Amino acid sequence: MIFDTRITYNGSKIRIRGATFRRFQNVRILQAGIEAIKFRLQKGFDSNDAKAKPLKKGYAIRKSKLTHRRAIRDMDLTGQTLGELKPRYSDDTTAIGDTSTRRGRLIARTNRDMLIFSDSDQAFMQRTATKIFKEEIAPGSFASVRPSAGRFVARKFQSQIAA
| DSSP assigned state of 49 | S
- In whole angstroms, give the CA distance from residue 8 to residue 14: 7
Rounded to the nearest 5°, which phi and psi values hold at 154? -105, 130
**pTM check: above 0.75:** no
Taking only the tens place, the pLDDT of each residue in 65-87 is 888 888 888 887 777 778 888 88
pLDDT for the residue 58:
92
Looking at residue 11, its pLDDT comes to 63
pLDDT of residue 119: 87
For the chain, the distance separating the N- and C-terminal CA atoms, rounded to the nearest angstrom, is 24
DSSP state of 95: E
List the chain residues with pLDDT less than 50. 1-2, 140-146, 148-163
Q: What is the pLDDT of residue 57?
A: 92
Domain boundaries, the chain: 4-157
